[in-house]
Chains A and B, each alone.
Chain A
Amino acid sequence: MYEQFKVRAEGVGAELHRFRTRGEALGFIRNFLQEDIAGDPQSSAVWAPGPFLDDIDTVRLGREIPGLKFDVSRQTAADAKIGISEMGWALADTGSLVADQSAVEQRLASTLPAIHIALIGTDRVLPDKTAVFSRITPATSRYIAFITGPSRTADIERVLTIGVHGPKRLVIIFVDEMEGVSA
Chain B
Amino acid sequence: MKSEFKESIEKAVNNANLTGALGKFSEAYKVNRTRAYEGIDFEALRTVIAERKSYAAGHLDQMATDFTRNAEALGARVFRTSDPEKVKEYILKIARDNGVKTVVKSKSMATEEIHLNSYLEKAGIEVGETDLGEWIIQLAGQTPSHMVMPAIHMTKEEVSDLFSKEIHERLTTDIPQLVEVARRELRSKFLAADMGITGGNIAVAETGSIVLVTNEGNARMVTTLPKIHIALVGIEKFVEKFADVVPVLDALPRSATAQLLTSYVSIITGPAPNTDGSTKELHIILMDNRRTEMAADPKFKQALQCIRCGSCLNVCPVFRLVGGHVFGKIYTGGIGTILTAWFDELKKSEEIQGLCIQCGNCKEICPAKIDIPELIMEIRRRLVQKEGLPTLQKAIYSVVNNRRLFHGMLRAASIAGKPFASGKFLRHLPLFLADLTDGRSLPAIAAEPFRDRFKKIKQSKCTEKAVFYAGCLIDFAYPEMGEALVKILNKAGIEVVFPEEQTCCGAPARYSGAYEVAAKNAVDNIKALLSEEVQHVISACPTCTVALSHEFISTFESLGQTEWLPKAKELAEKTVDFSTLVKKLVDEGRLTLKEGKKLGKITYHDSCHLKRTLRVSAEPRELLQKAGFELAEMFECDSCCGMGGSYSIKLPEISAPILQRKLQNIKATGAPVVAMDCPGCVMQIRGGIDQDGADIRVRHTVELLAEQLEG
- Cβ of B275 and Cβ of A108 under 8 Å apart? yes
**Is residue A130 within 8 Å, beta carbon to beta carbon, of the partner chain?**
yes
Q: In the complex, what distance in Å separates the CA atom of A64 from the CA atom of B136?
A: 44
Given contacts A107-B220, A165-B217, contact A158 B21 (CB under 8 A): yes
* Interfacial chain B residues near A107, Cβ < 8 Å: 220, 224
Alpha-carbon separation in the docked complex, A140 to B327 (Å): 43
Give 6 closest A-B pairs by Cβ, nearest first: A166-B217, A155-B133, A146-B265, A138-B269, A144-B267, A155-B132
Determine the distance from Cα of A93 to Cα of B260 in the docked complex, in whole angstroms: 8
B366 surroundings in chain A (CB, below 8 A) = none
Given A138-B204, A146-B264, A155-B151: A164 in contact with B216 (beta carbons within 8 A): yes
Complex alpha-carbon distance, A158 and B136, angstroms: 14
Task: Decide if B21 touches A164 in the complex (CB within 8 Å).
Answer: no
Please tell me if A81 contacts chain B, counting CB pairs below 8 Å: no
Q: Does B571 contact A (CB under 8 A)?
A: no
Of chain B, the residue at the smallest CB distance from A132 is: B246
Task: Check if A133 sits within 8 Å of B243, measured CB to CB.
Answer: yes
Q: Digitize B237-277: 1 where CB-to-A-CB distance is under 8 Å, 0 elsewhere.
A: 00000110110011000000101111111111111111110
Identify 24 residue pairs between A and B in the complex whose beta-carbon atoms are under 8 Å apart, listed by A's number: A12-B260, A12-B263, A95-B260, A104-B274, A130-B246, A138-B204, A138-B207, A139-B74, A143-B223, A143-B266, A143-B268, A143-B269, A146-B265, A146-B266, A146-B267, A148-B260, A151-B216, A155-B132, A155-B133, A157-B154, A158-B24, A161-B176, A161-B179, A164-B216
Query: Inside 8 A of B270's CB, which chain A residues have their CB?
Result: 139, 142
A149 is an interface residue with CB less than 8 A from chain B? yes
Closest B residue to A74 by CB, please name it.
Answer: B275
* B245 engages A133 (CB within 8 Å): yes
Assess the A156–B269 pair: CB atoms within 8 A: no
Q: How far is the CA of A154 from the CA of B149 in the complex (A)?
A: 8
> Pick the contact of A165 from B25, B133, B178, B183 — CB < 8 Å?
B183
Q: Which residues of B contact A151 (CB under 8 A)?
A: 215-217, 263-264
Give the number of residues in A that approach B within 8 Å (Cβ atoms). Answer: 47
> Is the C-beta of A29 less than 8 angstroms from some C-beta in chain B?
no
- Is residue B225 contacting chain A, with contact meaning CB distance below 8 A? yes
Closest-by-CB residue of B relative to A95 is B260
Option from B224, B257, B268 in Cβ contact (under 8 Å) with A104: B224
Judged by a CB distance under 8 angstroms, whether B352 is at the interface is: no
Residues facing B in A80-138 (CB within 8 A) are: 93-96, 102-104, 107-108, 111-112, 129-130, 133-134, 138
Tell me, in angstroms, the Cα distance from A96 to B267 when the chains sit together: 14
Contact of A166 among B152, B175, B220 (CB under 8 A): B220
| B586 in the interface (beta carbon within 8 A) | no
Residues of A within 8 A of B264 (CB): 145-148, 151, 166
- Is B273 a contact of A102 with CB atoms below 8 Å? yes
| Residue A67, interface by CB 8 Å | no
> What's the nearest-Cβ distance from chain B to residue A57, in Å?
26
| Least CB separation from B274: chain A residue | A104
Report the Cα distance A159→B70, complex, angstroms: 41
Residue with the greatest number of chain B CB neighbours at <10 A, chosen from A12, A138, A148: A138
Contacts of B25 in A (CB 8 A): 158
**Does A34 count as interface, using CB distance less than 8 angstroms?**
no
What is the CA–CA distance of A107 and B190 in the complex, to the nearest angstrom? Answer: 14
* Cβ-closest chain A residue relative to B180: A163
Q: What separation, in Å, do the CA atoms of A147 and B152 have in the docked complex?
A: 25
The answer to whether B21 touches A94 (Cβ under 8 A) is: no
Within 8 A of A (CB), among B253-311: 257, 259-276
- Pick from B70, B151, B273: contact of A156, CB below 8 A: B151
In Å, the complex CA distance between A143 and B219 comes to: 12
Chain B 182-206 residues near chain A, CB threshold 8 A:
182-183, 186-187, 190-191, 204
B549 within 8 Å of A by Cβ? no
Q: How far is the CA of A138 from the CA of B206 in the complex (A)?
A: 10
- For B186, list chain A residues within 8 Å (CB): 165
Contacts of A139 in B (CB 8 A): 70, 74, 207, 269-270
Query: Given contacts A156-B175, A161-B176, A163-B183, are A149 and B130 in contact (CB under 8 A)?
Result: no
* B348 close to chain A: CB less than 8 A: no
Given contacts A164-B132, A164-B183, contact A74 B225 (CB under 8 A): yes
Distance in angstroms between the alpha carbons of A40 and B150 in the assembled complex: 39
| Assembled-state Cα–Cα distance A12/B263 (Å) | 9
Q: How far is the CB of B90 from chain A (nearest CB, A)?
A: 23
Tell me which residues across on chain A come within 8 A of B155, comparing CB atoms. Answer: 157
**Which of B149, B208, B259, B269 interacts with A155 by CB under 8 Å?**
B149
If A155-B150, A166-B220 touch, whether A138 touches B179 (CB-CB below 8 Å) is no
Q: Does A43 contact B (CB under 8 A)?
A: no
Q: Are A157 and B175 in contact (CB under 8 A)?
A: yes
A165 to B182, CA, bound (A): 8
A147–B216 CA distance with the chains assembled, in angstroms? 11
A96 to B261, CA, bound (A): 8
User: Which of A104, A143, A167 has the largest count of B CB atoms less than 10 A from its CB?
Assistant: A143
Q: Shortest distance in angstroms between A63's beta carbon and chain B's nearest beta carbon?
A: 26
